[in-house]
Copies of this chain bind each other. A is one copy, B any other.
Amino acid sequence: MVRIVHTMIRVLDLDRSAAFYRTALGLELRRKLEFDDFSLAYLGNDESEVELELTLNHGRTEPYTHGSGYGHIAVTVDDIETTHARIRDAGFAAGDIVELKNGGTLVGRFFFMNDPDGYEIEVIQRHGDYR
């Protein structure tokens, strides 16, 4: 049986990305692999079985483009108001907290933010199917 183990995104600056994910979301750099042409960094925490894989292509300076297809990674938190305030207080841009309802039933409360390379991150209040 397969196991989903990571999502990979390409970034321009590993230190910048690692600092962002650690400060904003508490995802730590767990290991790093250096190759001639690229480096791989794996971010995670004890709550998550899956990791975020960051690829750094050495010498790349041109920003990566974001097509219309890929959306985001999503994380859940225990207290979205506290997390939202903490993230804004730390100086990161974050959208407002919004609610998604389906036929009057609350599906989720969440906000979006962007990482240093412009990838979207959804932060969701732990509730219902979002555990």
Contacts and interface: CB of A to CB of B under 8 A. Distances in A.
A119 interface: yes
Contacts of A76: 2-3, 5
Interface in A50-84: 50-53, 55, 64-78, 83
Nearest to A73: B7
Interface residues of A, number: 57
A1 B68 contact: no
A1 B131 CA distance: 12
A129 interface: yes
Given A8-B122, A26-B2, A47-B1, A66 B70 contact: yes
Contacts of A53: 71, 74
